[in-house]
Amino acid sequence: MNILAAQDLGKITKKSKAHEKFPEYQAVLDALNDRKLKAEMLARRKYEYDLQQANFLLDAGKEVIERRHKVSAFAVCASHIADIS
């Protein structure tokens, strides 16, 4: 019996698609696909969160730069007016 089983396993290992004939193959494949989809969804949510945070920081940085520019422009105008007066 062991010899027959070894011969059958030998034949199976020589065939490139022999693993697809086992009943567990589809169940394992489905489970792996489910895990892959969950991982892709998680990666997508993380990407969207990171993008949202980066855009928030970008907008905050722009606002700081614009405020500094307005303050410096006001200071230049004030000193120019002071020089004229």
Structure confidence by residue, pLDDT tens digits, 11-25: 666 666 777 777 888
Q: Residues 68-77: pLDDT tens digits?
A: 999 998 888 8
The DSSP secondary-structure symbol of 27 reads H
| Confidence at residue 70, expressed as pLDDT on a 0 to 100 scale | 92
pLDDT of residue 9: 66
**25, 19 in Cβ contact below 8 A?**
yes
What b/e sequence results for 8-22 when a residue is b if at least 16 CB atoms lie within 10 Å of its CB, and e otherwise?
A: eeeeeeeeeeeeeee
Whether 12 contacts 18, CB under 8 Å = yes
pLDDT digits (tens, 9 = 90+) for 16-66: 677 777 788 889 999 999 999 999 999 999 999 999 999 999 999 999 999
Of the chain, the end-to-end C-alpha distance in Å amounts to 111
Instruction: Please tell me the pTM assigned to this model.
Output: 0.59
Domain boundaries, the chain: 22-84
